[in-house]
Amino acid sequence: MMKLEIRNASLGYHRTMILQNVNMELHTGETICVLGRNGSGKTTLFRTLLGLLPLQSGEILLDGRNLSSWDRTQFARKVAYVPQARSLPFPFTVMDVVLFGRTSHLKPFASPGKEDKAIAEWCLDKLNIIHLRKRIFTQLSGGEQQMVIVARALAQQPSFLVMDEPTSSLDFGNQIKIIRQVNELKDESLGILMATHSPDHAFMCDAKVAVVQEQTVMVQGDCKEVITEELLKEIYGADIRIHALTQSAMLSRKICIPEI
Amino acid sequence: MSYLFTGKYSDANLPLLLSEIRLPRILGAVLVGGSLSVSGAAYQGIFRNPMVSPDILGVSSGAGFGASLAILLSFGLVGIQSMAFIMGIVSVCIALSVSKIMGGTHDRILMLVLSGMIVGSMFGAMISLMKYIADSEYKLPDITFWLMGSLAEVTLTELKAVFPFIGLALIPLLLSSWRLNVLSFGDEEARALGVNAARLRVIVIACASLITASAVSITGLIGWVGLIIPHFARFLVGPNHKVLLPASFLVGGVFMLIVDDLSRSVSSLEIPLGIITSLIGAPMFLILLRLSSKHTW
């Protein structure tokens, strides 16, 4: 059991504060969906949590230790990042890209060996994209690239997975695949922090919810309690009905239906 | 030829010619061509841009200025080469510190490229100044020839002097080649994957600049090699720097050997190397671009 937490934090850039008074906790074995409209500061929150953007004030603790006492290699073995946009200037193969995820487990000047390749293949297999192994990463579709980046994150064998809108460029089928994968990983006791624009995803993952709004992380709690019609109206400025499905045990969850 | 295999020769000068003139020149060509190419490949990796050449941080202009100044002050060959080497390194240091001071919240790579441009054009202007005040009978031609590059005056002593620098700088470069791959995704992702991007960048820039400055100091400026050979090598062996860096060295060495042979034999007058590399390099680059657009990398 491990914990990634952020306490009394102000987040932002040199002169402009984006988020203030942020308190949040992510445990292994749970999923937190971060909701919030475009530009509300979700990515800033993620980049700060990952130590890519310096904290303006407050503290971040991983496993009880301050972030500054973790070096990048140690941190990368615990927390993996699936970023939003990506660009790759050179024609690396999918296998190479997934092997990049092994870097934090290598000795300082070493390259990945047989064992690392086996792990990378296992990750590709787990996501059902082993057939892409020899393809050139830059020639893949957006959805395929997304899956490869998830595989790369898994190859880090982390305890936490921070995913910035992992479903944004995916078709409906691939979105469902990612959600299923998130649920599976949660059951394998990973802690997952996921930004999403669809409140339905929170219901599908049976996740906790954190809402980024008005320069802070406002509401936090279980999706079934927190996500209300009033909250959705407040976040998205639209009338959205929430229905509870009760047809069968498989489909007993809430869904969002926007009024058009 | 028969001398090499049988040890017999009819011309008394042959052994001397081979060991004192041809051999250093061949070794020099391979070493310089390989060095420029390997540092070009490393620079391209660090800047995440296949259009980058080893001159990007102003090494060549700095070295050119150092050499011109030394020629102007009537230094000997050793003096000229040392000055070229030192000023090449100095110009990179200036570019690095300018980008550090001015950096702030800007994109680090962009700031480095811009600082390199500034330093490069400053030293370029200084070279022109040196040429302008140089005595046009003797010194101006010397400066001009140096800036065009040549392997004609390379001796074994010089090769022995620069080889340790190149060798020493190659080791950390080759050792960090896997991490250089990871940097392709950009600083943030590389850091999230556990790579200390800032430190890696300093190491690679330092090594690649040392290699370039060493090579340029004994031959003068030779353009295009550092840009086009890494492309060609990537075309042959793929983008993994672990293979790409050694491949660039080999391909660059062979390329330079051919170019040097051409420069000696095409006309009775020896054509400066820099001219030939550019004449061959530019159209070859065009062909490579055409080929590579089919492969989309």
Q: Give the closest-approach CA distance of B175 to chain A in angstroms.
A: 5
Q: Are B179 and B200 in contact (CB under 8 A)?
A: yes
Chain segment B111-123, per-residue pLDDT in tens: 888 999 999 999 9
Q: Give the closest-approach CA distance of B269 to chain A in angstroms.
A: 42
Q: Are B87 and B65 in contact (CB under 8 A)?
A: yes
Chain A residues bordering chain B (beta-carbon distance below 8 Å): 13-14, 47, 50-52, 71-73, 75-77, 79-81, 83, 86-93, 96, 100-101, 103-104, 106, 109-112, 136, 138-139, 152, 156
End-to-end CA gap in chain B: 44
pLDDT at A120 over 80: yes
CA atoms within 13 A on the CB side of B182: 31
Confidence of residue B18 (pLDDT cuts 50, 70, 90): confident
Contact residues on chain B for A72, CB-CB shorter than 8 A: 191, 194-196
Domain count along chain A: 1
Which range, A10-19, A61-70, A216-225, A251-260, is most confident?
Answer: A61-70
Chain segment B164-184, per-residue pLDDT in tens: 999 999 999 999 999 999 999
Is B7 contained in some domain? no
Pairwise CB contact (< 8 Å): A92 & B239: yes
Contact residues on chain B for A160, CB-CB shorter than 8 A: none
Domain count along chain B: 1
The pLDDT value given to residue B242: 94
Confidence of residue B83 (pLDDT cuts 50, 70, 90): very high
Work out the percent of chain A whose per-residue pLDDT is above 70.
99
pLDDT at B156 over 90: no
3-state SS, residue B244: helix
> For the residues B100-121, what does the mean pLDDT come to?
85
| Alpha-carbon span A147 to B295, nearest angstrom | 23
Q: At what angle do helices B225-237 and B241-265 cross, to 10 degrees?
A: 130
3-state helix, strand, coil in chain A (%, to 5): 35, 30, 35
Torsions phi, psi of A216, nearest 5?
Answer: -155, 175
pLDDT at A14 over 80: no
**Contacts by A107-110, CB closer than 8 A, 24 or more apart:** A109/B175, A109/B176, A109/B178, A110/B178
Q: Which residue has the tokens 């890494």?
A: B230
Contact residues on chain B for A111, CB-CB shorter than 8 A: 177-178, 242
Q: Give B191's DSSP letter.
A: H
B49, B178, B195 member nearest A89 (Cβ): B49
pLDDT at A248 over 80: no
- Can you tell me the ipTM of this complex? 0.90
**Distance from chain centroid for Cα A132:** 23
The pLDDT value given to residue B297: 43
Q: Give the closest-approach CA distance of A12 to chain B in angstroms.
A: 12
pLDDT at B265 over 90: no
Confidence of residue B5 (pLDDT cuts 50, 70, 90): low
> Average model confidence (pLDDT) for chain B?
88
Is B133 contained in some domain? yes
Distances (CA, A) of B148 to B101, B129, B136: 34, 17, 17
pLDDT at B7 over 70: no
Q: Give the closest-approach CA distance of B280 to chain A in angstroms.
A: 25
Q: List the beta bridge partners of residue A11.
A: A19
Q: Which domain holds residue A113?
A: 3-258
Is B146 contained in some domain? yes
Chain segment B62-76, per-residue pLDDT in tens: 999 999 999 999 888
Confidence of residue B6 (pLDDT cuts 50, 70, 90): low
> Minimal Cα distance from B230: which residue of A?
A90
Give pTM, 2 decimals.
0.89
Confidence of residue A169 (pLDDT cuts 50, 70, 90): confident
Q: Is B189 on the interface with A (CB under 8 A)?
A: yes
Determine how many CB atoms are found less than 10 A away from the CB of residue B293: 9
The pLDDT value given to residue A17: 87
Q: Is B104 on the interface with A (CB under 8 A)?
A: yes
Q: Give B271's DSSP letter.
A: P
Enumerate residues 120 to 159 of chain B having a beta carbon within 8 A of any beta carbon in chain A. none
Q: Is B49 on the interface with A (CB under 8 A)?
A: yes
Structure-token pair, residue A155 = 């190859």
∠ Cα A144 A146 A152 (to 5°): 105
Chain segment B213-263, per-residue pLDDT in tens: 999 988 888 888 999 999 889 989 999 999 999 999 999 999 999 998 888
Of B34, B65, B40, give the one whose Cα is nearest residue B55: B40
Q: Give A83's DSSP letter.
A: -
Q: Give the closest-approach CA distance of A92 to chain B in angstroms.
A: 6
Q: What is the CATH classification number for the domain harbouring A231?
A: 3.40.50.300
Chain segment A38-96, per-residue pLDDT in tens: 888 899 999 999 999 889 899 999 999 999 899 999 999 999 999 987 788 899 999 99
Confidence of residue A123 (pLDDT cuts 50, 70, 90): very high
Q: Which domain holds residue B197?
A: 28-295
pLDDT at B210 over 60: yes
Chain segment A205-225, per-residue pLDDT in tens: 999 999 998 888 887 889 888
Contacts of B131 (CB under 8 A, 6+ apart): B68, B140, B143, B144
Confidence of residue B2 (pLDDT cuts 50, 70, 90): low
A75, A86, A90 member nearest B239 (Cβ): A90
| Alpha-carbon span B185 to A79, nearest angstrom | 18
Q: What is the CATH classification number for the domain harbouring B287?
A: 1.10.3470.10
Q: List the beta bridge partners of residue A35.
A: A211
Chain segment B51-64, per-residue pLDDT in tens: 888 888 989 899 99
Pairwise CB contact (< 8 Å): B296 & A76: no
Length of chain A: 260
∠ Cα A244 A246 A252 (to 5°): 80
Of A124, A113, A5, give the one whose Cα is nearest residue A62: A5
pLDDT at A142 over 60: yes
Pairwise CB contact (< 8 Å): B105 & A136: no
